[in-house]
Chains A and B, each alone.
Chain A
Amino acid sequence: MLELRALSAGYGRAQILFELSLEAKPGEVVVLLGRNGAGKSTTLKTVMGLLRTRAGEVRFDGQRIDRLPPYRIARLGLGYVPEDRRIFTDLSVMENLEVGRQEPRAGAPHWTPERLFALFPNLGRMPERLGGRMSGGEQQMLTIARTLMGNPRAVLLDEPSEGLAPVIVDQMAQTILALKKEGLCVLLCEQNLRFAHLVGDRAYVVEKGHVRYAGTMAELEKNDAVREQYLSV
């Protein structure tokens, strides 16, 4: 469903991604693992069109999207949740959801504020609260809910567990598994290996913009060498 072929990208003169390839299927949670600065966020930004692809290609449902502006990519049904959340702090919860809203899409679950409030009960208690007045965990819920309002078929999640209390982390894992059950394709960046194990089906390990390892989550768990070399801090 989502396919990166030999993707290269970077900022200014610095090249960050070097011919990176990976793929993710519907109903699958794929985890992108790597240390700080490995290029995980850069990969997601490039897929979303926020950063120009320098070489290689990105396909979504077989269609090339690496030359499209972000709004066109979003309208094809690819959702993006940035690592710094980027909530609209001047807008209320409902308004934040409204910005993300798109028309129902064939072949994708249809989200409404009511359904999202069932998934994130905290948000349902504060529909008029301003984004800037919410706790970090609530903002994290809101940024995911906002993206789901676009009824995506695939979502890119950038470290959704970062900075959250353990209880909320578990709740977040449940949410991701719920999305998977709805048939969504999820591409997730993580540094938290425990969280990755909770939700992931397959993993790619990235270092310095190269894919160093690809395999199922279960295989990775057994492979101490890879974990030692690329993931332990």
Chain B
Amino acid sequence: MTYSSVLIQFLNGLAGASTLFLVAAGLSLIFGVTRIINFAHGSLYMLGMYVAVWAAEPLGFWWSVPIAALAVAVFGAGVEIALLRRIYGAPELLQLLATFALVLIVKDFTLWQWGPEDMLGPRAPGFSGAVEIAGRPFPEYELFLIGFGPLVLGALWLLLTRTRWGTLVRAATQDREMAGALGVNQKWLFTGVFALGALLAGLGGALQIPREPATLLIDLSVVSDAFVVVVVGGLGSIGGAFVAALLIAEIKAFCIGLGFSQLTLVVEFIVMAVVLVLRPWGLLGRVPAPARGAGGAEPPLEAPSPAAIGALLALCGALALVPALSAGYTLVLLTDVLVFALFAVSLHFIMGPAGLHSFGHAAYFGLGAYGAGLLLVRGGLPMELSLLLGPLAGGLGAVLFGWFCVRLSGVYLAMLTLAFAQIAWSVVFQWDAFTGGSNGLIGIWPAPWLSSKTAYYYVTLALSAGGVALLWRALYSPFGYALRAGRDSPLRADAIGIDVRGLQWAAFSLAGLFAGVAGALYAFSKGSISPESLSVPRSVDGLVMVLLGGIQTLTGPLWGAALFTWLQDAVARGIDYWRAVIGGVVLLLVLAFPQGLTGFLRRRSAA
């Protein structure tokens, strides 16, 4: 690589860093004050892109940028007022879920408004040419972006340190209750911060349109990039976001410049891993203060009574009788339910008893599915062996990712699991030659003796019920008790010699393995796999199932999975914009029961 190409790649990286910084800074700012991780931040960026492309047509690029940024800011303020205000007191997990519901709704809104095709933006008038740098042409617009990022950093710094509003924001970031007791109206402060964060995201998106087309896939890829930046830079630190954005964008630029664009993700992953090991709270971040007035310990999970075990066995027996009574679609649907029941139970295993709130559990489901599919298609293994060995891919993925994840907790953990899932998705999505890329793999059918719906149903029933039984058995072993001790009081558990992290890692890996079993079963039931099987929405499906059923109950995930799978099937067959419908239902549930369904039911029964 010559000197000049190094320079050019470096400049490319700087340009990319600017938009990345805008998004991450907004995310960080919003989190600092409201303590909400805005999963929909990438969606705001996407909206900024689409609005800008749309407005540039009649008005020209330079008008479209501020218009898009303002439109997104207004939208953000509306979301804050209508939605977030109602859930500031709700458990973290529900807040995350609510912002994720927004992702689904914004995506479908964009699809409805602008259609599924990518939309190309105009060039930036005045910056459409190229200048010569080190003997090579370099786009003027990139130079503009290079200057713009630090400009925004400077403006934000002035805003936060030189204005009364900024002082109040910093005060509220540290202790919002005290700020309130001093007469600061948090409502409008929060709305303002959210609008500013949205403005930055919208601005980032709008400025990106001369560089790349607006697509419906950009939301999750941007938000997971922003998560990586924020995790690396330190949550709540604007300066950290800037440094980390530079770092990540440079890495990307050099990987692409060297012709290894597939490596981008791997290198990004390695950087994040190194930072997390050396500085768990990011380059410029600080150890988060323990939450004030955290909720009480969760009630213990009671071991199922003999009667309950009997009922569950009877349920299995009843399920085994179903093929005798009906066939066709019922069996297909029930097979799905069984697969997702195992998936949900494996997620519940780490979320409930281990207290690890994963937003990327589908990664292991998908890895299991691809593991099985690839062993069959590329490895030429018999179907039976593929089904049994494929899940190991999920388990191994969980071993690798879990090692990092268990070092964090709370929202950091949620962000990291999501980022890992997005990385896994991107690898599968981009690696055409091996995984089939966006088309996925086809021809993954069961062996002939299992190919009837009934036979495959029995296989699924056996493996799912077996998996669920094993996971539940583990919960009531010393391992499970130690795991819960680690969740409820990590320090005390540590003190009595429990290796909390090690246990959590083991739990994470085990859960990944069983999610992998579910994934492998799923692959053979459909005959094909697509990257969707490890996409972030699939992870959220799992979360909804667990929360719907109730995280503090043992069998909740089963009922949640059944209800959700049935609902999705019914809705997806009838409605084009089913994502928005699901998002809307989730939002309504969160708004109606901000303490969760089980919390609600428990209060009802206590009253």
Contact = CB atoms under 8 A, between A and B. Distances in A.
Given A89-B174, A90-B174, A100 B182 contact: yes
Given A88-B174, A89-B174, A90-B174, A80 B167 contact: no
A138 interface: no
Interface string A72-110: 001100001010001011110001101111100000000
A89 B170 CA distance: 10
B177 A50 contact: yes
B158 to A, nearest CB: 14
Interface in B51-76: none
A70 interface: yes
B604 interface: no
B181 interface: yes
Interface in B177-217: 177-186
Given A95-B167, A99-B167, A99-B168, A86 B178 contact: yes
A82 B180 CA distance: 13
B170 A91 contact: yes
B118 interface: no
Contact of B164 (A86, A89, A98): A98
A150 B182 contact: yes
B181 A70 contact: yes
A62 interface: no
B296 interface: yes
A213 interface: no
Q: Which of A12, A80, A96, A99 has most B Cβ within 10 Å? A: A99
Contacts of B296: 12
A48 B170 CA distance: 22
Given A91-B167, A99-B168, A74 B178 contact: no
Nearest to A150: B183
Contacts of B170: 88, 90-91, 95
B494 interface: no
A183 B180 CA distance: 25
Interface residues of B, number: 19
Contacts of A90: 170, 173-174
Contact of A71 (B167, B171, B174, B184): B184
B181 A99 contact: no
B175 interface: yes
Contacts, number: 59
Contact of A86 (B167, B173, B175, B185): B175
Interface in B279-328: 296
A100 B174 CA distance: 15
B183 A91 contact: no
Contact of A91 (B164, B171, B180, B181): B171
Contacts of A89: 174
Contact of A99 (B171, B185, B186): B171
A163 interface: no
A153 interface: no
Nearest to B293: A11
Interface string A121-165: 000000000000000000000000011001000000000000000
Interface in A19-64: 48, 50
A98 B170 CA distance: 12
Nearest to A48: B181
Given A12-B296, A91-B170, A91-B171, A99 B182 contact: yes
A104 B178 CA distance: 21
B183 A71 contact: yes
Given A12-B296, A88-B175, A147 B167 contact: no
Given A70-B177, A86-B178, A88-B175, A100 B164 contact: no
Contacts of A99: 167-168, 171, 179, 182, 184
B180 A71 contact: yes
Contacts of B168: 99
A96 B182 CA distance: 10
Contacts of B179: 99
A69 interface: yes
A80 B178 CA distance: 9
A87 to B, nearest CB: 9
Nearest to B286: A90
A55 to B, nearest CB: 18
Contacts of B174: 88-91
A95 B175 CA distance: 14
Contacts of B183: 71, 74-75, 100, 102, 150
A82 B292 CA distance: 15
B265 to A, nearest CB: 35
B181 A82 contact: yes
A30 B164 CA distance: 34
Contacts of A75: 183
A95 B174 CA distance: 13
Contacts of A69: 180
Contacts of A80: 181-182
A48 B175 CA distance: 16
Contacts of B171: 88, 91, 95-96, 99
B165 to A, nearest CB: 11
A70 B175 contact: no
Contacts of B182: 71, 74, 80, 99-100, 146-147, 150
Contacts of B185: 71
A146 B179 CA distance: 11
Nearest to A147: B182
Nearest to A149: B182
B181 A50 contact: yes
Contacts of A48: 181
Given A90-B170, A99-B171, A71 B186 contact: yes
B129 to A, nearest CB: 45
B599 to A, nearest CB: 14
Nearest to B177: A50
A71 B176 CA distance: 11
Contacts of A86: 175, 178
A71 B174 CA distance: 17
Q: Which of A48, A88, A100 has most B Cβ within 10 Å? A: A88
Contacts of B181: 48, 50, 70-71, 74, 80, 82
Contacts of A50: 177, 181
Contacts of B178: 82, 86, 88
B66 to A, nearest CB: 30
A100 B171 CA distance: 10
Contacts of A12: 296
Contacts of B177: 50, 70
A201 to B, nearest CB: 25
Interface string B531-544: 00000000000000
29 contacts: A12-B296, A48-B181, A50-B177, A70-B181, A71-B180, A71-B181, A71-B182, A71-B183, A71-B184, A71-B185, A71-B186, A74-B181, A74-B183, A86-B175, A88-B170, A88-B174, A88-B178, A89-B174, A91-B170, A91-B171, A91-B174, A95-B170, A96-B171, A98-B167, A99-B168, A99-B179, A99-B182, A99-B184, A150-B182
Interface of B: 164, 167-168, 170-171, 173-175, 177-186, 296
Given A74-B181, A150-B182, 8 more contacts: A48-B181, A71-B182, A82-B181, A88-B171, A88-B178, A99-B171, A99-B182, A100-B182
Shortest 3 CB-CB contacts between residues of A and residues of B: A74-B183, A86-B178, A70-B180
